[in-house]
Amino acid sequence: MVSNASSTELLIICGPDLARERVLWLQYLSAERRMAEKTSEAYERDLRQFFHYLTTYLAHPPELADVKDLRPIDMRGFLSSRRREGAGARTLGRSLAGIRSFIRFLEKKGLASSAGLAATRSPKQPKTLPKPIAPEQAIKLTDASQHLHEEPWINARDTAILTLLYGCGLRIGEALALTPHSLSDRSARSLSVTGKGNKTRLVPLLPVIHKAVDEYIKLCPYHLEKDKPLFRGARGGPLQAAILQKSMRLLRSALNMPDNATPHALRHSFATHLLSNGGDLRTIQELLGHASLSTTQIYTQVDTDHLMRTYNAAHPRANR
């Protein structure tokens, strides 16, 4: 994924040798790393901001030689300047990750060293817990009778997607990438999903998921080619995540649900509800496609908080 910035703009923020490597890096992220488009765009933006900082710091647009041996002090100066502009810890952490990715790309070609970046600590990230919704709320959201569109096929479409998110723990992008072929076996009890980092995992397919998808396929007015996106927008093109998110906002408002009732919250709910009912953490990690168990362990804190709220609300001596 290459920036829309013109070559003239690139020469303003960096020299031609660095601009050339930047384009090759972006192509590498897309073609070889298969990085999500939004992440690639964010990395590109972060690198541009770093080049702008270096232009001011060096008093000239940076060239390849200027980034060959970056020091921790160079990175601390950049992060400090971004913090003064209002960037938070998450943004700064991602900025550092993007710059590291570019320098490591150069390092593989013998054009730079990443030692200085390796010695730079990422900003401490604030601890935020996932916000699942209650089981009864999740079930309502996956009930076709609750949906509000005038077109029955769109109601069936949204129901099928939300059922996949809650029933399989999918990310929105994973659900929207499914094809009719991937769900063609009505007797299948598992589904192969390609997630972040192009990693494939198996998730369970409940009968209710088959039923919801079948209802959508039956009502959909468009021809669904077996290797094209299964879920379509109102005009027949691939459904965009923003459309589903908008539908969810309308639905949660009609059902008087909190703002954290989002499509992604159904994935959090999948994990939290499994854990609450005795699910094994390692299994949940595999189902979610998390690379690290520590990422999945955050749901144990969510479950503990839920238990304590229930205890405080119900136990006669909890508030005495």
CA gap 200, 184 in Å, rounded: 18
Which of 22, 210, 273, 290 is labelled catalytic?
290
Cα–Cα distance for residue pair 227/214, rounded to 1 Å: 17
| Given the residues 100, 210, 267, 268, the one annotated as active site | 267
Instruction: Please say if 171 is a catalytic residue.
Output: yes
The answer to whether residue 299 is catalytic is yes
Nearest to 56 by CA among 28, 84, 91, 94: 84
- CA separation for the pair 253, 147 (Å, rounded): 11
What's the 3-state SS for the chain? CCCCCCHHHHHHHCCHHHHHHHHHHHHHHHHCCCCCHHHHHHHHHHHHHHHHHHHHHHCCCCCHHHHCCCCHHHHHHHHHHHHHCCCCHHHHHHHHHHHHHHHHHHHHCCCCCCHHHHCCCCCCCCCCCCCCCCHHHHHHHCCHHHCCCCCHHHHHHHHHHHHHHHHHCCCHHHHHCCCCHHHCCCCCCEEEEECHHHCEEEEECCHHHHHHHHHHHHHCCCCCCCCCCCCECCCCCECCHHHHHHHHHHHHHHCCCCCCCCHHHHHHHHHHHHHHCCCCHHHHHHHHCCCCHHHHCHHHHHHHHHHHHHHHHHCCCCCC
The answer to whether 196 is a known catalytic residue is yes
Query: Of 33, 45, 196, 306, which residue is the catalytic one?
Result: 196
Residue 194: phi, psi to the nearest 5? -100, 120
**In the annotation, is 108 catalytic?**
no
- Catalytic one of 171, 201, 210, 273: 171
Asked about 166 being catalytic, the answer comes back as: no
Of the listed 140, 149, 211, 264, which one is catalytic? 264
**Residue 273 among the catalytic residues:** no
CB 116 within 8 A of CB 72: yes
Residues identified as active-site: 171, 196, 264, 267, 290, 299
